[in-house]
Structure 1
Amino acid sequence: MYEAFSTLIGTISNVMYSYLLIIMLLAAGIYFSLRTGLVQLRMLPEAVRSVGERSVGKDSVSSFQALMVSTASRVGTGNIVGVANAIAIGGYGAVFWMWLIALLGGATAFVESTLAQIYKKRAADGSSYGGPSYYIQAALNSRALGVVFAVALIATYAGGFNMLASYNLIDSLSGYGFYDKYFFGPHNLVPIIGGASLALLVGFCIMGGGKRIVKVTEVLVPLMGVLYILLALIVMALNIERLPEVLSKIFTAAFDFRAIFGGFAGSAIMQGIKRGLYSNEAGVGSAPNAAAAADVAHPVTQGLVQMLSVFIDTLLICTATAMMCLCTGIIPGEGLKGAPFVQQSMSVVFGTVGPYFITAALLLFAFTTLLGNLFYCEGCLNYIAGRALSKRAMNIFRIAAIIAVFVGAQLEFGLVWDMADVLMGVMALINLPVIVILARTALAALNDYTAQRRLGKKPVFKAAAIGLKEKTDFWN
């Protein structure tokens, strides 16, 4: 039964990414890049400036805070393990396609986050909330499709992504001697004990306790991200003689079409796009949930900020992992992928300390990802219910999510990655056509923003300025 289910999910994943999503992601990215005049490059300095914009209300969420929420969700185990897997399966060329999907994805992220701001809803306390479900209902007048998207997001983040984060963390322990030592019958005790411990820790935090733990990780994760990039730079500097060869292989392998079409499921294109999408989430419809919470004077401000988050995630942190692995000369393959591949690469430069650092990074990234994922889910649960759920109903959901964390630690490599890819793909299949349909609204908002900037004004948005017919909670 398990093997049959695993094979089925793997087949669905291959079909989705071989035909549908590769075409849709690239087409949407190119379309938005052209329609916005390459906003991801043209307005990159403006995006950096927008990060420092203060919120209007005293206790409101600022652009920077919304950026941190979405970046915390994006930056996770996929930045380490996902990149290593893409290289191990797809080869050097996967890195190029990961870069390309991030570059094009910047424009996609801009459009979806701008739409989330335009159609955001006002809470009783004056704060804002929203996301794809809300702009689907407001602009397309389809609550049913909004509910379908909300269900897909919950399944993806509480199920697929949380199980994957748990698996990746436990898999990082497989390189240590104790991993294969402790067996009880046919079972390895490490996934059981490790999965249970992680599930209990997450449960302690999301069931009302653990505020101090959450606050500590909020400080440690950015520090770990900076330290991670610095160590990657050290690895590159110590192996500088390999860097030209590595870059050459990345670009030549990316266009080795004989290898690509000889086995497309494991090709550089598919692996690069899969892992790029999983890491930066541009077009998936997750980041708009965080973008809608920001208190800004113009929706485009937050669209630009969320565009920046894609670059931080992929062009900085994912590239750090890729260079860390490739510059050390370690040869990846079927027997060496995921966390062990990164750990072995680090051990070449930093000795026994390297693998421990990767494990610590994965622990922090996985933990904050697990908590951040549930933030997105709770908003969608309230959307489905049409009201704020009771504490009891929310606790039932949280218990189910905690169980998923434990289950994920027990699964195998192929199934856990394919499940995450398929569920994420379903979200993208709904969100991408919707934001293409609504693109005119986001583009009109961009034109309004740039027109005000040219006049030397601080852009302030009014729905009437772009002829928006739908009534909004904030911009009328």
Structure 2
Amino acid sequence: MNKIFDLINDFFAFLAPITDAVWDFPTNIEWYSGIPVLGQFSFPVILLIGVGIYFTIRTRFIQRQSFVPAIKIMLARQPSKQGISAIGSFMLGLAMRAGPGNIVGITGAISIGGPGALFWMWVAAFFGMASAFTESVLAQLFKEKKGDEFVGGLPFYGKRILGNKRFVGLFLSFVFIIYALFNIPAQTFNVFSAIGAIAQASTGEQYSHQSTLYYVIAVILVVVCAFIIFGGIRRVVAYSDVLVPIKAVIFVGMSIIIILINFPLIPYFFHEVVVGAFLPHAIFGGTIGTALAQGVKRGLMSNEAGQGTITMAAAVANNRHPCEQGLVQSFGVFFDTMVICTMTGFIVVMAHVWTGSVDGVMWESVRASKIMLYLSSVEALVPSSISTVVEIIMCACYGLFAFTTLLGMISFAEISANFISKKQSFILGIRTLGSLVFVPFGILTILAGLELGNLWYISDLMNIIMVYLNIPLLLLGLPFVLKALEHYRKTKAAPFDSKQYGFVTDCWNGKENSK
């Protein structure tokens, strides 16, 4: 068993320099890094923000329509029993977006890039809303029917955009399945971390990774995960419709209470975030590039705009117009970053643990562990009499974030796999891989004693690979999106007929896609 653990550790350690090199390119090249200002910005940062700005301009600031209309769309009656409702699709997407990255990712961004990283995360999210709109409309336009369900997403619109060549979709589907499955270990780790922290806070005892508690958690997690996943997408949506609102309301509500308790510190928060965005503290490297890179990097891990992953949730929805799901998922980026991630940012920055000025808390001792840094920040902001209760509640939210993301990863892999084959035996194979192979593999990483930082290397690497595959497709597919958007604005969401705009789709033929 120890040899297996050693192999797991070696595998993730091997990925670390590769991931850093990909994300830092070309700032890791001497001549480029010497360029004033520009030399601080890596290509992934330039690409994500640049494309978001471009889509914002071409869609004439679609962000303006991503609030009230999106909420109305989610509250409207579903056109038919076919597919998933707009709000069900939103919750499925938010199950992925509102994950542990909203806590440890944002905490990590601040711990490395300073409070200013949160400002750049807001900027990236604002422009990312246009990217999310574009990819979600493409997912709706080129979705396909499967019985009483819809399937679609990156592989499906990738195939259509690149000349209707099946091998393109097969490649994209395969890569996405690898992406989703290899992100599962990190989410498994987060579930264990949350439950372990709850147990420690409740009993005052620290449990080892190979204690009886961890083995019990392992068995329960595998059984529950398999039960939900083998029930298909509808069962996953049924659970996400319940779990996602619960975790979001409790986390945001508790965060607001903590912020109100520390109301006088709110001006301090905004000062540190805005000033730190342009004049970072020396402790964080003192460069704008560090804050900006961390904001974009962790923002992508959280809201996933432009990555192509949420397109699976967008495709399964039954909407009256393809642009409706674009608005819904664009709103999802706003809610995830501007609301949930900002709540984490408020707590970490307001606690100013990172300044080293909090009694009894040593910055360097907690900086390596992002969840420890977050919990130390929470503890510093609440009265000692309720700190244990608050810590348990926030850890429970953290665990729910991880669990729903885990379900989302496997479900999205299943939706993507439908491009390869819609046969039930093949889909069951994907469900088995996710819940009975990769979840146990994630458990092995826990028993191996891996730190979350090691697991993040594969997540970061797969995230940027998905971006590099998806962004060119979005640029090529933008004309389809603009045609649908023109129709939506002109007719106020009348039935869309793609043939009138020079292209053919399976579901949008002038009648409501539910018929």
Change (3 A) 1:190 1:17: farther
Picking from 438, 453, 475, the partner of 1:414 is: 453
Pairwise CA distance, 1:196: 4.9
Picking from 339, 350, 357, the partner of 2:393 is: 357
Change (3 A) 1:357 1:314: same
Aligned to 1:402: 439
Alignment partners' CA distance in 1, 2:120 and 2:211 = 37
Kept after mapping to 2: 8 A contact 1:260/1:268:
no
Alignment partners' CA distance in 1, 2:284 and 2:394 = 34
Of residues 326-335 and 352-361 in structure 1, the stretch that sits farther from structure 2 once superposed is 326-335
Q: Superposed, which structure 2 residues align to 1:42-81 within 5 Å? A: 42-81=65-104
Aligned to 2:495: 460
Change (3 A) 1:152 1:4: same
Deviations 1:174-207 (A, max 9, x none): 59377985559xx677656544543343234334
TM-score by length of 1: 0.88
Kept after mapping to 1: 8 A contact 2:132/2:305:
yes
Picking from 361, 374, 378, the partner of 1:346 is: 378
Of residues 257-266 and 113-122 in structure 1, the stretch that sits farther from structure 2 once superposed is 257-266
Alignment partners' CA distance in 2, 1:261 and 1:221 = 34
Deviations 1:67-86 (A, max 9, x none): 11111221111111211111
| 2:486 is the alignment partner of 1:447 | yes
Picking from 285, 288, 309, the partner of 2:311 is: 288
Pairwise CA distance, 1:281: 0.8
Change (3 A) 1:28 1:364: same
Picking from 151, 157, 168, the partner of 1:135 is: 157
Kept after mapping to 2: 8 A contact 1:235/1:327:
no
Identity of aligned residues (%): 31
Picking from 193, 196, 200, the partner of 1:171 is: 193
Picking from 246, 256, 259, the partner of 1:233 is: 256
Pairwise CA distance, 1:367: 1.6
Change (3 A) 1:412 1:54: same
Given residue 268 of structure 1, which amino acid in structure 2 is its aligned partner? Answer: A
Aligned to 1:376: 412
| 2:506 is the alignment partner of 1:472 | yes
Q: Superposed, which structure 2 residues align to 1:4-403 within 5 Å? A: 5-18=11-24, 19-125=42-148, 127-140=149-162, 141-160=164-183, 162-172=184-194, 173=196, 176=200, 181-182=206-207, 194-207=217-230, 218-256=241-279, 262=285, 267-331=290-354, 333-336=363-366, 337-348=369-380, 349=382, 350-385=386-421, 387-390=423-426, 393-394=429-430, 396-398=432-434, 399-403=436-440
Alignment partners' CA distance in 2, 1:181 and 1:64 = 40
Alignment partners' CA distance in 2, 1:261 and 1:341 = 16
Of residues 443-452 and 44-53 in structure 1, the stretch that sits farther from structure 2 once superposed is 44-53
Alignment partners' CA distance in 2, 1:416 and 1:405 = 10
Kept after mapping to 2: 8 A contact 1:95/1:322:
yes
Alignment partners' CA distance in 1, 2:216 and 2:60 = 52
Kept after mapping to 2: 8 A contact 1:198/1:406:
no
Unpaired runs of 5+ in structure 2?
Answer: 1-6, 25-41, 356-362, 511-515
Deviations 1:147-171 (A, max 9, x none): 22222222222222x2111222333
Given residue 160 of structure 2, which amino acid in structure 1 is its aligned partner? Answer: A
Alignment partners' CA distance in 2, 1:182 and 1:49 = 47
Kept after mapping to 2: 8 A contact 1:118/1:475:
no
Of residues 401-410 and 245-254 in structure 1, the stretch that sits farther from structure 2 once superposed is 401-410
SS class of match (1:122): strand
Alignment partners' CA distance in 1, 2:11 and 2:403 = 28
Picking from 404, 410, 427, the partner of 2:466 is: 427
Alignment partners' CA distance in 2, 1:191 and 1:269 = 38
Of residues 298-307 and 82-91 in structure 1, the stretch that sits farther from structure 2 once superposed is 82-91
Change (3 A) 1:179 1:272: farther
Alignment partners' CA distance in 1, 2:498 and 2:237 = 38
Alignment partners' CA distance in 2, 1:97 and 1:181 = 37
Change (3 A) 1:227 1:430: same
Alignment partners' CA distance in 2, 1:217 and 1:306 = 16
Of residues 218-227 and 284-293 in structure 1, the stretch that sits farther from structure 2 once superposed is 218-227
Pairwise CA distance, 1:220: 4.1
Change (3 A) 1:158 1:334: farther
Q: Would you say how many aligned residue pairs link Structure 1 and Structure 2?
A: 466
TM-score by length of 2: 0.82
Given residue 400 of structure 1, which amino acid in structure 2 is its aligned partner? Answer: V
Change (3 A) 1:58 1:204: closer
Change (3 A) 1:193 1:20: farther
Given residue 263 of structure 2, which amino acid in structure 1 is its aligned partner? Answer: I
Deviations 1:105-158 (A, max 9, x none): 100000000011111112233x32210100111221233232222222222222
Of residues 27-36 and 264-273 in structure 1, the stretch that sits farther from structure 2 once superposed is 264-273
Alignment partners' CA distance in 2, 1:30 and 1:259 = 30
Pairwise CA distance, 1:60: 4.0
Unpaired runs of 5+ in structure 1?
Answer: none
Change (3 A) 1:58 1:386: closer
Kept after mapping to 2: 8 A contact 1:166/1:195:
no
SS class of match (2:425): coil
Given residue 378 of structure 1, which amino acid in structure 2 is its aligned partner? Answer: E
Change (3 A) 1:43 1:309: closer
SS class of match (1:128): strand
Pairwise CA distance, 1:262: 4.8
Change (3 A) 1:407 1:100: farther
Kept after mapping to 2: 8 A contact 1:163/1:406:
yes
Kept after mapping to 2: 8 A contact 1:174/1:340:
no
